[in-house]
């Protein structure tokens, strides 16, 4: 692929007005990935059959999620922490949507492993005599 062709590749962008600022949410860059990955380490995504339960994620892992959003939006942690719940959830949703491939390859395997371990433990509990 030529340099011209690479420059013409469209990078998906979600534009939002949040906290009085117009933001362009883009996929994470290679430079953002190390800090972002550290910020979300240990977060167990709370998936339902059809969607992510963002409110439960905020309740259980709010500080880590605030740090991750600050990294992904290049905004200070204090600015992100001062957002209203609706604005914060909109940002989290946009970041997750634009980086779905990252989450599927990096986060979902860990969640799948945890679910498999839980299934094994639960099978042992239900088959044990009282």
First to last CA, the chain: 65
52 bridge partner residues: 47
Q: Tell me the pLDDT tens digit for each residue of 9-45.
A: 566 788 999 888 999 998 888 899 899 988 887 775 5
What's the pLDDT at 46?
Answer: 47
What's the pLDDT at 89?
Answer: 83
Residue 67's nearest CA partner among 32, 105, 100 is 32
What's the pLDDT at 92?
Answer: 84
Find tokens 């972002």 and name the residue: 36
What's the pLDDT at 68?
Answer: 92
Helix (H/G/I), strand (E/B), else coil: 77: helix
In whole angstroms, what is the distance from residue 127 CA to residue 51 CA? Answer: 32
What's the pLDDT at 77?
Answer: 97
pLDDT < 70 positions in the chain: 1-11, 44-55, 102-130
What's the pLDDT at 56?
Answer: 72
């Amino acid at each position: 692929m030529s340099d011209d062709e690479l420059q013409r590749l469209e990078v998906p962008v979600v534009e939002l007005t949040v906290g009085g600022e117009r933001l362009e949410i883009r996929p994470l860059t290679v430079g953002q990935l190390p800090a972002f990955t550290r910020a979300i380490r240990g977060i167990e995504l709370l998936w339902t059959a059809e969607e992510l339960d963002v409110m439960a994620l905020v309740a259980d892992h709010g500080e880590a999620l605030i740090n991750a959003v600050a990294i992904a939006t290049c905004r200070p942690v204090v600015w992100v922490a001062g957002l209203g719940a609706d604005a914060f959830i909109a940002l989290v949703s946009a970041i997750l949507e634009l980086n779905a491939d990252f989450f599927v390859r990096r986060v979902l395997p860990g969640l799948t492993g945890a679910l498999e371990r839980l299934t094994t433990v639960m099978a042992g509990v239900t088959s044990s005599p009282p």
